[in-house]
Amino acid sequence: MDSIANMLIVMKNGGEAGKESVLLPYSKMKNAILECLQKEGYVNSVSKKVKKDQPVLEVGLIYMEEKPKIAEVERISKQSRRVYFKMKDIHRVRNGAGLLVLSTPKGILSGKEARKEQVGGEALFRIW
């Protein structure tokens, strides 16, 4: 199972259910993605905790006008098909209302940061 897609869906469903925070199994990749989402204002807080001797990430969700900030997610690269973008192929998502997240040689970056750093990489997902 795709752990990144699972993480995104858990956050989306948690927002739809009105939860303040959700718990996710810990991994370095998920932590880096969540820090990028926190920097861009899609999640409130990210903290690593231990529950039943297993590391987990507690993610605080953001609501705007009683609606969750994360309304929709679209996974681009999958385990069966990897999709790579060059720097010139990185465009705005939903006229700037969304965010593209990439895995680049300089780490996990948003589309805006990747253009600024002039790097391309594997397109992980779009979120809006």
- What domains lie within the chain, and their CATH numbers? 3-127 (3.30.1490.10)
What's residue 1's pLDDT? 83
Alpha carbon distance 83, 108 (integer Å): 15
Give the residue ranges of the chain where pLDDT is below 70.
none
CA distance 102 to 75: 11
Q: Are 24 and 41 in contact (CB under 8 A)?
A: no
At 90 the pLDDT is 95
Predicted model pTM: 0.93
Residue 73, pLDDT score: 96
∠ CA 32-126-81, rounded to 5°: 85
Specify burial of residue 118 (Cβ count, 10 A radius: 0-12, 13-18, 19+). Answer: exposed
Interatomic CA distance for residues 16 and 107, integer angstroms = 30
- Cα distances (Å, whole numbers) of residue 121 to 43, 62, 72, 76, 85: 23, 28, 22, 12, 6
